[in-house]
């Protein structure tokens, strides 16, 4: 992860290409907490905490959890449009 300034960051996978910027956030009905709960995503104050003494922050887990929730919502919206 590289800080670009102005709250902007660039992400890359080790030994891989840069990760493209995320698309615009879709309009949602309800709060992010409600949407995460409906999508089966558990993300709260303990998600970002280390799970043991002196363990590092697990940013990969947090980011994957968030993107999994976004992907799920996008899939559900696409299915709703198809029906």
Q: What digits encode the pLDDT tens for the residues 2-52?
A: 788 777 777 777 777 666 666 666 677 778 778 778 888 877 777 766 666
pLDDT category at 76 given cuts 50, 70, 90 is confident
Q: CB–CB of 4/10 below 8 Å?
A: yes
CA distance 23 to 53: 36
Q: Output the six-digit token pair for 77.
A: 């919206």
Residue 14: predicted pLDDT: 76
């Amino acid at each position: 992860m590289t800080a670009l300034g102005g709250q902007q960051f660039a992400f890359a996978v080790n030994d891989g290409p840069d990760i493209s910027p995320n698309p615009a956030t879709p309009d949602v009905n309800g709060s992010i907490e409600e949407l995460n709960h409906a999508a089966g995503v558990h993300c709260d104050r303990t998600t970002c905490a280390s799970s043991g003494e002196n363990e590092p922050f697990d940013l990969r887990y947090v980011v994957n959890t968030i993107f999994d929730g976004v992907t799920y919502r996008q899939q559900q919206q696409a299915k709703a449009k198809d029906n």
